[in-house]
Structure 1
C-alpha cells in the first residue's frame, strides 16, 4: 500500500480534476460523507474533468462509479456526457466484436494461426463487460512468415493499408518493425497485424510458444484465441511502459488483473527477466500501487523489489506523460530518453546495431534495383544525414 507522501509526490503536478478521477476510480468518494465529498469537488473545472476522462479513456468506468455514488454532487451535464460516451462505446465494442470474429475467422479458415492481443476479448477477460474498456482497433498476432498472406486476406475483406502500398524494400523491414496497420474505409474499423509483440529488437517469446500457451476467449461464439494470462500481463505492462502510460486506462488494466485474475507471478517474473524487462514490471507496480492503491501480495512485492530503484525512477518519469493530454508520448521532449531508459543493456546494444540496417525510409528516399540493395548499408549514414538536413530546412521554412 502506498503512503500519502508517495501519492503527493507522484501527483504533485496533476490538476485537481485528474486527482478526482483517480479518487473516483479508487472509490474514495464512497467512503466519505456527502458533505466531505462536496468539499472535495469544490472549484472543479468540469469541462476539464470531461476532457481528461475522454483522453484517458476512462469515461465508461467513471460513469458506473458515479452511478454507484447515487448522489447529486456531480453536475447532471457531466453525468449525461459520461453516459453518452458509455453508450457509444458499448455499440463500438459490439461492432468491433463482429469484425474481430470475421477477421480471425478468415485467417483461421486460410490456415493462419492468430492470437488477439487486446480489443473486446481483453475487455471481457478483465472486466467481464466489454462496455467498460475502450478499443480503437484490433491487434492480432500471427506468425512472421504469414504476414504477406494476411495482408492479401485483409485486402480481400476490403481493408486498405494506412501507409499505402508498400515500396518493394530490403529484406529487413519485418525485422525492424513489429506491425502493420489496415483500415476499412466503409466500416471504419482498424486492424493491426503483429508478428512481434514489441518494436524493439530485444529477446521475446516466439510465436510457437505463445500459441502453445494461448487460451480460448470465453466471450466469443467462434473460437478466438488470447494470450495466456502470464504472457498477457507481461505484454500489457510492456505496452503501457512503451507508451509512457499516457492513458490511465492501461494502468487500470494492470490494477484489474492484479485484483481479479489469479496469476503465477513467479512465472511472470521469470519471463520478464528472460526478456530483460524486470524494471518495466517494477515500474508498473510502483505506478499502480501509488496511483490506484492496487494491493500487492508478497509475490508482487518481490517482483517490484527485483529492480526497485530503476522501477521507481521509471515510474516518476512515466507520470510526466499522464499529466499531458497528448495524442502521442513522442510529443513530449523527454520521450526518446525515457524510451532508451526502458531498455536493458542488451537491448541498448541491439538498438545501436539496428541503426546500421537500411530502413524503408532509405528505399523511399533513394530507390535502387533489388540487385543493388546491398549498397544501402554503406549509404545509410549519408541518407540519414540527408534526411536530417531536409527536415531542419523544412522546419526553418515553416
Structure 2
C-alpha cells in the first residue's frame, strides 16, 4: 500500500511526545509534502493543528518558513481562545461549586487542562457538562442568573420555570457571549456503573480551572465516554483518538474498572474499538491486556 505522507505526518504530529526515533521519519515525511496549505487546513479540520506545531517547531529546516509560521499563529490563536473561554467559564464553575451542584466538566474543555501538557494544544468549541438530573433545576437557575440564554428551539419552560427534565433525549445548549455550554444527564445517556449506589458521582474528582475548581468524571468513566462519543461521530476527527490515547496513558488508570464499566454499560465494543484504533496509530499507548479483556463477541464486533 502506498504511504500517504500527509496522513502519516498528521498521526506522528498528534502525539504529545513523539517516540524515540521518530524525528528522522518526521523530517522525511515533511520533505515529501508538496502542498503545505492543504496539510495545515487538514490539521485544523482534524483538531490537531497545535499538536502538529509542537512536533514541527523542532524541525525548522524541514518545514517551509511560511508553513511553520502558519502553525505558530494557529497555536497562539487557540491559546488566546481557550484562555478567554476558561475566563468566561469561571463564574459558572464557581457558582455550581458554591451551591454544591453536581455538574462535571467533560470532553475537550476538561482534557485541555487535565490531559494535554499545555492548554493551547487541545482546541474545543462548546463546553460539555454531565449534570446529575436531580441538580438540573438548580443548575438552570444558576445559568439564568449569570445571563446565559438557552439556544433557540428549546422546549418551553414549565409553569414553575423549572424547564424540561434533563434526560437522555434532552441535551440543551446555553450561550453567553463566546461561550456555549451543553448539558447531559449522563455520558451519552448511558448508565455507567459506580463503585457504590451513587454511581460515578461518589468518585468524581476536582480539576483546577483558573481561580476555582470543576467537578470531573473519574478518568475511567471519561475514557469510556470518549470512546463511545468518537464512534457515534464516526471518528471524524483525529483529535478524538489523540484524546483517547492521551487519557489511556494516564498513570494509575484502573483498567479493571474500565473493563467493568464497558461490560455493565454494554459498550465493550465501542470502547475496545476506540482504544484499538488509538493503539494502532500510536503503538504502546494502550495496554494489550486491556484490549484483550475488552474484546467484544463476534456479533457485537460486526455491528460496529
CA deviation profile, 1:96-117 (whole Å, cap 9, x unmatched): 2222321122223344222111
Name the Cα RMSD after superposition: 3.0
Q: What TM-score results when the alignment is normalised by the length of structure 2?
A: 0.85
**In structure 2, the residue corresponding to 1:276 is in which secondary structure?**
coil
Q: Say whether 1:228 aligns with 2:218.
A: yes
Partner of 2:203: 213
Instruction: Kindly provide the CA deviation profile for residues 170-228 of structure 1, in whole angstroms up to 9, marking residues without a partner as x.
Output: x99744514111111xx3111112212114xx543479322211111145432321111
Contact 2:6–2:39 (CA under 8 A) maintained in structure 1? yes
Give the CA deviation at 1:167: 3.3
SS at match of 1:150: helix
Q: Find 1:126's aligned residue among 115, 130, 134.
A: 115
Cα gap change, 1:279 to 1:153, in 2 (>3 Å): same
5+ residue gaps, structure 2: none
Which of 97, 102, 106 is equivalent to 2:95?
106
Which has the higher Rg, Structure 1 or Structure 2? 1
1:181 corresponds, among 173, 180, 183, to 173
Contact (CA 8 Å) 1:16, 1:44: kept in 2 or not? no
Q: CA deviation at 1:48?
A: 1.4
Q: Distance in 2 between matches of 1:107 and 1:33?
A: 49
Is it true that 1:287 corresponds to 2:287 in the alignment? Answer: no
1:122 offset after TM fit, Å?
2.1
Tell me, in whole angstroms, the C-alpha distance in 2 between the residues paired with 1:311 and 1:77.
48
SS at match of 1:244: coil
Q: Secondary structure at the match of 1:224?
A: strand
Q: Matched residue pairs, number?
A: 296
Cα distance in structure 2, aligned partners of 1:136 and 1:23: 24
- Quick one: structure 1 residues 102 and 118, their matched pair in 2 at CA, closer, same or farther if it must change by over 3 Å? farther
Alpha-carbon distance in 2 for matches of 1:225, 1:39: 41
Structure 2 residue aligned with 1:270:
260
Q: Which residue of 2 aligns with 1:253?
A: 243
Match of 2:192 among 177, 195, 204: 204
Q: Whole-Å Cα distance in 2 between the matches of residues 32 and 153 of structure 1? A: 49
Report the counterpart of residue 9 of structure 2 in structure 1. Answer: 20
Match of 2:37 in 1: 47
Corresponding residue for residue 348 of structure 1: none
CA shift for structure 1 position 303: 3.0
User: Which ranges of structure 1 fall in alignment gaps of 5 or more residues?
Assistant: 1-7, 314-340, 343-398
Higher strand share: 2
Contact 1:283–1:311 (CA<8 Å) still a contact in 2?
A: no
Answer whether contact 2:136 2:165 (CA < 8 A) is retained: no
1:136 aligned to 90, 104, 125, which one? 125
1:261–1:232 Cα change, 3 Å: farther
Q: Provide the secondary structure at the position in 2 that maps to 1:216.
A: strand
3-state secondary structure, aligned to 1:246? coil
Which is helix-richer, 1 or 2? Answer: 1
Distance in structure 2 (CA, Å) of the matches to 1:80 and 1:91:
16
Alignment of 1:267-346 (within 5 A): 267-304=257-294, 306-307=295-296, 309=298, 341-342=303-304
Instruction: Select between 215-224 and 50-59 the one with higher mean Cα deviation.
Output: 215-224
When residues 23 and 134 of structure 1 are mapped into structure 2, their CA distance, relative to the original with a 3 A threshold, is same
- Taking structure 1 as the reference length, what is the TM-score of the superposition? 0.66
